[in-house]
Amino acid sequence: MSLDDIVRRACAEASVLEDAGYHAIILENFGDVPFYPTNVPPLIVSCMTACACEVRRTVDIPLGINVLRNDPHAALAIAIASRADFIRVNVHCSARLTDQGMIEGIAHETARARRALGAERIAFYCDVDVKHAAPVAPRDIADEAEELVERALADVVLVTGAGTGKTVNLGDLQKVRQRVRAPVLAASGVTVATLEQTLSACDGAIIGSALRRDGKAGADLDPDRVVQIAKTFEQIAGQQRDPNRVPE
C-alpha cells in the first residue's frame, strides 16, 4: 500500500467516524509491526505527519496522535505540525516490561517539551498499567494513576485490558476514577454489548477493534458497527442526562 493509499484510507475513515457522531479520533501507526520501542525512524514521523495533516483538513472533530510503541516526542511534533488536539502516550511515567523490551516513561522530557514549544493546548492522554505490558514490580493501579496525573501531568487517564481488544477490568476503572482528578477512559475491549456497563465506571471510551469487520483490529471499518455503537452511546448519554430518570 502506497502512502497515498494510506492517506486516502485515513481520511475516509475519519469522515465516516465524524459523520456517525464520534467525538474525537486517534491516528496511530498500528500497522508498523514489529514496533520500535521508543524513537521511531524519520520516515514514520514524516508519513504520519502527511496523514495527520490531510485528516485535519478533512474533519473538524478533535484529532489525537499515537506513535507506537512509545515515542511521545514524535507524537508531539506531529500534533504540532498537523494542529492535532492531543497525543496518546502508552508509557508516560514509571517503567513497563513489554514485547519490545523494557520501556521507561519520559514524562520529564515530554512535559517540558510541550511547554517549551508553546503547545500546552495539546493534551496528554496517558495509559496506566498499559496493555501488552507488565509492571517491573506489582503496584496498586490507583496509586499509579494518581502519580500519572499529579506527578507526570497527564490530562486524561486511559485504562486498558491485557491486550488489544481485551476487556477492561471494571474494578480497575472504578478505582482509578475514584482516585484521580482527571477524566478516565476505558481504552480497550469496549463493544456495543459492554458499552453501558463500562460507561457507568468511567467518563468515556476509546473504541477501535469493535468498529471493524468481525471486530478485528486493523480490518476495514464496518459501517454498521460504527453507527450501532454511536447510537448506543448517545442513548446511554441521553439517559444519564435525563433529570427525570429514576436511578437504578
Q: Write the DSSP string, 161-182.
A: -SSTTPPPPHHHHHHHHHH-SS
Q: How far apart are CA 43 and CA 22, in angstroms?
A: 30
Q: Quick check: is 20 in a domain?
A: yes
Q: How many domains does the chain have?
A: 1
Q: Quick check: is 174 in a domain?
A: yes
Q: How far apart are CA 130 and CA 71, in angstroms?
A: 15
**Where do we find the cell 496498586?**
140
pLDDT at 239: 78
Q: For position 97, which CATH number holds?
A: 3.20.20.70
Q: Quick check: is 28 in a domain?
A: yes
- Could you tell me if 10 and 55 are in contact, meaning their C-beta atoms sit under 8 angstroms apart? yes
Q: How far apart are CA 154 and CA 145, in angstroms?
A: 9
Q: Quick check: is 79 in a domain?
A: yes
- Could you tell me if 218 and 190 are in contact, meaning their C-beta atoms sit under 8 angstroms apart? no
Q: How far apart are CA 217 and CA 110, in angstroms?
A: 28
pLDDT at 1: 86
Q: Quick check: is 35 in a domain?
A: yes
Strand, helix or coil for residue 214: helix
Instruction: Write out the residue range of the structural domain in which residue 160 sits.
Output: 3-241
Q: Of 102, 109, 107, 48, give the one whose Cα is nearest residue 80.
A: 48
Ordered per-residue pLDDT tens for the chain, 248 residues: 899 999 999 999 999 999 999 999 999 999 999 999 999 999 999 999 999 999 999 999 999 999 999 999 999 999 999 999 999 999 999 999 999 999 999 999 999 999 999 999 999 999 999 999 999 988 999 999 999 999 999 999 999 999 999 999 999 999 999 999 999 999 999 999 999 999 999 999 999 999 999 999 999 999 999 999 999 999 998 876 554 443 33
Q: Quick check: is 248 in a domain?
A: no
Cell triple for 113: 517539551
Q: Quick check: is 246 in a domain?
A: no
Q: How far apart are CA 190 and CA 188, in angstroms?
A: 6
Q: Quick check: is 60 in a domain?
A: yes
